[in-house]
Amino acid sequence: MTVEPVPADTRTRIVEVAARFLREEGPGAVTTRGVAQAAGVQAPAIYRLFGDKDGLLEAVAEHVMSSFVAHKASTVAAAAEADLDPVEELGDGWRRQIEFGLENPALFALLSDPRRVAGSPAARLGKDVLAARVRRVAAAGRLAVPEARAIGLIQSAGVGVITTILATPPAERDPGLADAVFEGLLAQILTDAPATAGSGHLTAAVAFRAVAPELEHLSDPERRLLVEWLDRIVSSPSAR
């Protein structure tokens, strides 16, 4: 017996209906029967496309996160083209990420599961967007720690802030918590002024590392060697 393929627009419709249920009523509302009925399909179509409810939730998380991350990527590109202040752009990205997590608690819970994040293309793209923002800060000579350290600190702080706020009753929430955490974070990762020749080895190396892959006057092997040297400097405890 030949199984007819499910049209792509049907898959999209199912995911969008499930995303609405997840956003408005939480994971418990995302049942195969309810989603199928609202999407105008038979329940077997959902099983054929997603396997089970967990598979459907994975698809929903990827769909919503992909849309959000794609928007973030476009803002990073626009900021670079307009030569906007990279520290201000990093702050804008932080605030949008916090708002997204607080407005989508069920989705945030799904995406906070390390097992889901590890295999999520959207999560990887989201980290790439953050890395691009951090690299702009580094290239401006404002980053006082290695890029990888800054990215890890920002991600950890963001997840912690969202988790803490969501776990606090609305009437007891501190409206300035996210901004206070971000200010403290900046104090850990930024220099007071752009790097100069006298700024210290680490700050100068971090700034140079950010632009080293783009040095067109060097060959590919030379750029790779330069990056390796700079990575060795910024990861050395003696440079801190």
Q: How far is CA 54 from CA 1, 47, 48, 134, 165, in A?
A: 27, 11, 13, 34, 26
Instruction: Map residue 143 onto helix, strand or coil.
Output: strand
Query: Is the CB of residue 84 less than 8 Å from the CB of residue 133?
Result: no
Determine the 3-state secondary structure of 190 from DSSP: strand
Q: CA-CA distance, 152 to 160, in Å (whole number)?
A: 12
pLDDT in single tens digits along all 240 residues of the chain: 344 455 668 889 999 999 888 888 888 888 888 999 999 998 888 889 988 888 888 888 888 888 887 777 777 666 666 668 899 999 999 999 999 999 888 888 877 777 777 777 878 888 888 999 998 998 888 888 888 999 999 999 999 999 999 999 999 999 999 999 999 999 999 987 665 544 456 677 777 777 777 777 778 888 888 777 777 777 765 545
**pLDDT at 110 (0 to 100):** 79
Angle between helices 43-50 and 32-39 (to 10 degrees): 110
Pair of tokens at residue 104: 């989508």
What is residue 161's predicted lDDT score, i.e. its pLDDT? 97
Q: What is the pLDDT of residue 194?
A: 64
The residue among 94, 123, 128 whose CA lies nearest residue 108 is: 123
Which conformational region is residue 40 in: left (phi greater than 0), alpha (psi within -120 to 50 degrees), or beta?
Answer: left
- Predicted confidence at residue 195, as pLDDT, reads 54
**pTM reported for the whole predicted model:** 0.72
Confidence (pLDDT) at 8: 65
CA angle 23, 26, 28 (to 5 degrees): 145
**Closest CA relative to residue 194, chosen from 182, 210, 183:** 210
Enumerate the domain spans of the chain.
83-193, 195-240
**Given this model, what pLDDT does residue 174 score?**
96
Q: How far apart are the first and last CA of the chain?
A: 67
